[in-house]
């Protein structure tokens, strides 16, 4: 077995103990840098998912009854532990995903930012709100936020820690329990997240982790939980929405993207090339927000392409549990196959490969060079389909209208970037893009890191939002409690209904005039 330094026997035993699994079935995960075996983990059955749900539901009743400040105490301690244990976490993340250590550090910042945001904002967002009653003075109304119950969180392999913990922390803060089903290939880091939450004082059983095949174990989570927070592909997202819909259970879906960058004609080309390189190749392009299409004005296309290729050439690829390499490995043989297919297909159909374009087995089994393409045409796979790897296509455009229309010509609508010296003009272009986030003068981190603002996708990129008010309130049911102090809406017995309706019509007119209703 190839093990990162922090994965001691004691830690592995503790992490295995966090899985809700009753049988002796196990499966083995891969250390991505070498392709060797990493860890044997317990596999859950469908019956285990039901057990996980029951245990979680039981624990949730007491949790929801705790005053919010007491619940929040756990997350203050969790935030501290998260930052203190960052090197252990980075080891686990690198081992199971093959990402560069800087990407692992960036990943753990997401749950830290989400946690500190909701520590500040939860009181304001969850408190009861007075609403205007039907008749002022006669009826008082308060809007309450009740937890959903047990939230099922289903998360993917590319950011296995951030997308599990970043989505389950607000669910817990809102008074829910959680059943988490991470991708089983990358389960060590989310299990470590569960371990840290329990170390921080999370009550027993409140967070359950189940591991196993997506359709079977993930399907059982969708069939049992009271709400589903899903992150993954658009194809699976549609299946989950339909399955949740059959039970009339709500879901939020954070799905794929084919994210564009528009370079405006006043952009600083050297600075834009640097921004674009990070936006395209962070996490070896295995980032839902990564830029896969860059639109550049005709007049500066060649100069930009040259600067971009030069910046790309500066990226250092490499394996190892240390800071240094800018880019790590792809996470699996499947990812490498898709990336190779997209590039080979584009090359065969006439695209020009300006940089990269080949695997790097000398560095590890799944490494692929950061790749820059031009002359990409609609018949090529990488034109519309999400590559989800270190591959970007550069396209020239004549007018901003054309660039906007090309950028919007996709079924996806997750993230976009607009770069230009004049921020007012760039923001005007941003508002014309059909994506859930737009980063002006950045690729993705400006919007994704701003956890006070919602983040998510339009079109095939999803339903609902994480972060912001929406990211917490999606895990709540809104309940209206209206208290009638005296009855003004039922006509007295002695009054004919015709006379009552005339009086009510006059009252309604008057209240509108006085802005009371």
First-to-last alpha carbon distance for the chain, in angstroms, is 70
d(CA 412, CA 255) in angstroms, rounded, equals 9
Nearer to ligand NAD, 240 or 354 (CB): 240
Separation of alpha carbons 103 and 328, rounded Å: 9
Nearer to ligand NAD, 311 or 442 (CB): 442
Site residues (vs ligand NAD, CB under 6 A): 154-159, 163, 181-183, 214-215, 218-219, 222, 231-233, 236, 239-240, 254-257, 288, 386, 388, 414, 457, 462
Q: Which is nearer to ligand NAD, 159 or 475 (CB)?
A: 159
CB nearer to ligand NAD: give 275 or 387: 387
Q: How far is the CB of 155 from ligand NAD (least distance, A)?
A: 6
Q: How big, in percent rounded to 5, are the helix, strand and coil portions of the chain?
A: 45, 20, 35
DSSP class per residue in 174-188:
TT-EEEEE--GGG-H
Q: Are 263 and 277 in contact (CB under 8 A)?
A: no
Least gap, CB of 449 to ligand NAD (angstroms) = 14
Contacts for 10 with CB less than 8 Å, ≥ 6 apart: none
CB of 263 to ligand NAD, least distance (A): 23
Q: How far apart are CB 425 and ligand NAD at their closest, in Å? A: 28
Question: Locate tokens 């087995």: which residue?
Answer: 361
- Structural tokens at position 308: 């971009």
Spatial contact of 228 and 240, defined as CB atoms under 8 Å apart: yes
Q: In Å, what is the CA distance from 10 to each residue of 13, 16, 161, 205? A: 5, 10, 20, 21
- CB of 431 vs ligand NAD, minimal distance in Å: 21
Of 175 and 232, the one with the shorter C-beta distance to ligand NAD is: 232
Three-state DSSP at 31 gives: strand
Of 140, 176, 199, the residue nearest 59 (C-alpha): 176
Residue 137 burial (CB count, 10 A): 10
Is 254 marked active-site? Answer: yes
**CB-nearer residue toward ligand NAD: 332 or 374:** 332
The closest residue (CB) to ligand NAD is 218
288 part of the active site? yes
Q: What does the radius of gyration of the chain's CA atoms come to, in whole angstroms?
A: 26
The distance between the two most distant Cα atoms of the chain, rounded to a whole number of Å, is 93
Annotated catalytic residue: which of 31, 195, 254, 292? 254
Catalytic residue among 288, 311, 369, 386: 288
**Residue 267 in contact with residue 419, Cβ under 8 Å?**
yes
The residues annotated with a catalytic role in the active site are: 254, 288
């Amino acid at each position: 077995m190839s093990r990162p330094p922090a994965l001691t026997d004691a830690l592995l035993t503790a992490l295995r103990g966090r899985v809700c699994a009753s049988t002796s079935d196990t499966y083995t995960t891969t250390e991505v840098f070498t392709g060797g075996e990493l860890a044997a983990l317990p596999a859950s059955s469908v019956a285990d998912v039901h057990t996980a749900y029951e245990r979680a539901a039981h624990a949730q009743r007491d949790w929801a009854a705790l005053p919010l400040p007491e619940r929040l105490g756990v997350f203050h301690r969790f935030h501290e532990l998260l930052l203190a244990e960052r090197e252990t976490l980075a080891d686990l993340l690198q081992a199971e995903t093959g990402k560069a250590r800087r990407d692992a550090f960036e990943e753990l910042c997401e749950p830290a930012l989400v946690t500190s945001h909701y520590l500040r904002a939860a009181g304001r967002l969850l408190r009861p709100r007075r609403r205007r009653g039907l008749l002022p003075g006669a009826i008082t109304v308060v809007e309450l936020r009740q937890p959903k119950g047990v939230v099922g969180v289903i998360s993917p392999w590319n950011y296995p820690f951030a997308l599990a913990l970043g989505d389950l922390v607000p669910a817990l803060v809102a008074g829910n329990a959680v059943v988490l089903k991470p991708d089983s290939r990358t389960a060590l880091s989310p299990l470590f997240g569960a371990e840290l939450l329990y170390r921080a004082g999370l009550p027993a059983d409140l967070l359950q982790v189940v591991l196993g095949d997506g359709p079977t174990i993930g399907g059982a989570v969708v069939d049992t939980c009271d709400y589903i927070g899903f992150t993954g592909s658009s194809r699976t997202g549609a299946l989950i929405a339909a399955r949740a819909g059959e039970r009339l259970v709500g879901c939020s879906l954070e799905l794929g993207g084919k994210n564009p960058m528009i370079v405006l004609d006043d952009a600083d080309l050297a600075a834009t090339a640097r921004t674009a390189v990070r936006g395209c190749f962070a996490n070896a392009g295995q980032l839902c927000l990564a830029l896969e299409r860059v639109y550049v004005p005709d007049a500066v296309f060649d100069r930009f392409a040259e600067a971009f290729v030069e910046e790309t050439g500066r990226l250092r690829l490499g394996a190892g549990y240390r800071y240094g390499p800018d880019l790590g490995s792809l996470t699996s043989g499947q990812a490498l196959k898709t990336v190779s297919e997209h590039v080979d297909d584009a090359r065969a159909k006439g695209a020009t490969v300006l940089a990269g374009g080949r695997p790097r087995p000398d560095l590890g089994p799944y490494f692929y060079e950061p790749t820059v393409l031009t002359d990409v045409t609609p018949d090529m796979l990488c034109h519309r389909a999400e590559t989800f790897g270190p591959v970007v296509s550069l396209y020239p455009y004549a007018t901003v209208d054309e660039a906007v229309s090309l950028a919007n010509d996709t079924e996806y609508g997750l993230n976009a970037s607009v770069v230009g010296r004049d921020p007012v003009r760039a923001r005007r272009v941003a508002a014309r893009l059909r994506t859930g986030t737009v980063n002006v003068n950045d690729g993705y981190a400006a919007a994704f890191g701003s956890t006070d603002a919602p983040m998510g996708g339009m079109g095939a990129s999803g339903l609902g939002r994480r972060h912001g008010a929406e990211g917490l309130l999606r895990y709540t049911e809104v309940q209206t409690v209206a208290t009638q102090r005296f009855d003004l809406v039922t006509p007295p017995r002695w009054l004919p209904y015709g006379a009552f309706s005339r009086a009510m019509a006059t009252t309604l007119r008057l209240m509108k005039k006085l802005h009371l209703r």
